[in-house]
Amino acid sequence: MSKDNSYAAVMARKQEIVKAAVGVDYARFERSALCFDYEAMMDDVAYSMEQMIAIQKNSGVGQTPLLELGNLTTLVRKLAPKGKGARIFVKDEAANPSGSFKARRASLAIHHAKRLGYPGVVAATSGNYGAAVASQAAMHGLKCIIVQEAFDSHGQGQPEIMEKGRACEAYGAEVVQLTVGPELFYYFLILLEQTGYFNASLYTPFGIAGVETLGYELAQQVHRRTGRQPDAVVITHAGGGNVTGTARGLIKAGCAETKIIGASVDLSGLHMASDNDFNRKSFTTGHTGFGLPFATWPDRTDVPRNAARPLRYLDRYVTVSQGEVFYMTEALACIEGLERGPSGNTSLAAAFAIAQEMDEDQVLVVQETEYTGAGKHPNAQLSFARQNGIEVCQGNPQDSVPGKSIVIPEHPDQIMVQDVELERMRRSYLKHAAALLQERHISRSDLDFLVAETKAQLDWVEAELAMLGVKIGGN
């Protein structure tokens, strides 16, 4: 008897599909309607840092170079007040086999899938992760299917997504391309169930733990080069795995005082699931359309509990404009001789401004670069924007309007960051959490969980919950 594959029926059995496809019993970590044991879930990965480094080394992943951007640092110091202008370094993750840090996430996930005996892997992603999964699957002899949300209702696809689809196919993966909308997750579940493949989700503990090696490595390299810990690390923030994994790795390397700064492209006003807005953006990831919702409520993913919990680690969250990222992409190529893709240059644009606030003897690290290609190049992105009615011009980037205009700076002193209020994001998280409660009451262990989740002071969380009408008591 064939299964009912209607949308409602598939969604009704999504928990059992996901459990079979990940090999993780998430129920073991649940403590209440609100709370789960996050650290126990991460420990369930059962690979030590040394083991993860060895696994990645065997597939050519990791040990990427740390490069000092001396020319950009010089430019920063010309613009900064006297005595200001931190040394800027960048971790060149484009040196990984698939050209981005996502190879770290994929390497551990694919290793684990093979260890558990899965015949293949499936991943739903329109970004670099698809190429990383396809590359690692090819190395390990596993079949691979990548599901992309690629087109609007007119069949028009963004050049960056098309580029990544071509990369996946080059590694031998089957690429399934869909239009924007709810069918992505439905079709993804159908594939998992029908194939019996591993769910190589971005958000499993394996996907996040794989990035811990990046933070760990980065800390060691900075210490060897400068004799100190990095004062701050700027990380492009989308779904939160980049921030979470890198921060955890830095902490394991002893860098508890290093400031974790997330950076996203400001695409406020554009809805990522909107057919109308889908092609009115020039960045497929690393923007606020992912950064804000995934930080304020992480469990909106293809697994029951998201291992990416960025609010636990962020010390600061900033945005930059699309034009500023395009400017820094060209600056990196022309001043430092490094042609790299757009996502990593989001954190570079933010770092260029933040370095001017810091002292000359401090060290600021841009956490990653990524490969570039025909569809990811600024020329392709800007041409696509013009085709979709977006005005592209030079001027003050603060005048840009997402979905309507991209304003590229006329001078580097126009590059700046806009701070996103972390307290406001924490408040949004607590509202989401409170909405889960049938009774307006939580235990002390729930409270401790919320304090850890928001990286906030206990009395502040208590006060916010009181304003939401949530009472605290018991264990």
pLDDT along the chain (475 residues), means of 10: 86 89 91 94 91 97 98 98 98 97 96 95 92 97 95 89 93 94 87 96 94 98 98 97 98 97 94 83 87 94 93 98 96 97 93 98 97 90 93 97 96 98 98 90 94 97 95 80
The answer to whether the beta carbons of residues 19 and 189 sit under 8 Å apart is no
pTM of the shown model: 0.96
Residue 27: CB atoms within 10 A of its CB come to 11
Separation of CA 232 from chain center: 18
- Calculate the alpha carbon distances from 278 to 32, 151, 183, 381 in Å: 37, 8, 15, 14
Give the contacts of 149 (CB within 8 A, at least 6 positions apart). Answer: 124, 126, 178, 179, 180, 181, 184
- Scan for tokens 């200001």, then name that residue: 84
- CB-based contact 426:462 (threshold 8 Å): no
What is the CB neighbour count within 10 angstroms for residue 337?
8
> How far is CA 335 from each of CA 216, 242, 312, 370, rounded to the nearest angstrom?
29, 27, 36, 17
Half-sphere exposure of 156 (CA within 13 A, CB side): 11
pLDDT given for residue 475 in this prediction: 66
The architecture in CATH of the region 7-50+100-203 reads: 3-Layer(aba) Sandwich (3.40)
Question: What is the reported pLDDT for 1?
Answer: 56
* The pLDDT value given to residue 373: 87
Extract the tokens encoding 395.
């001027």
Q: What string of H, E and C letters represents the secondary structure of 343-408?
A: HHHHHHHHHHHHHHHCECCCEEEECCCCCCCCCCCHHHHHHHHHHCCCEEEEECHHHCCCCCEEEE
Helices 378-387 and 322-336, interaxial angle, to 10°? 150
CA distance 62 to 64: 5
pLDDT score for 71 = 98
Residues paired with 124 in a beta bridge: 147
Residues 271, 289: Cα–Cα separation, whole Å: 7
Please answer whether residues 86 and 355 qualify as being in contact, where contact means their C-beta atoms are separated by less than 8 angstroms. yes
Strands 259-265 and 316-320: what pairing? parallel
The reported pLDDT for the residue numbered 404 is: 95
CA 333 to chain centroid: 24
Measured between alpha carbons, how far is 172 from 114 in angstroms, rounded to an integer? 17
From CA 327, how far away is CA 324, in angstroms rounded?
5
SS3 content of the chain, % helix, strand, coil (to 5): 50, 15, 35
Q: Is 3 helix (H, G, I), strand (E, B) or coil?
A: coil
What's the pLDDT score for residue 181?
A: 79
* Distance in Å from the first CA to the final CA of the chain: 47
Structural class in CATH, domain 63-96+206-419: alpha beta
Q: In this structure, what token pair is assigned to residue 224?
A: 């060897």
Q: Which of 309, 295, 412 shows the shortest CA–CA distance to 352?
A: 412
Identity of the residue numbered 159: P
Across the beta sheet with 87-91, what order do the strands follow? 66-68, 87-91, 363-366, 232-236, 259-265, 316-320, 418-419
Scan for tokens 């309507």, then name that residue: 404
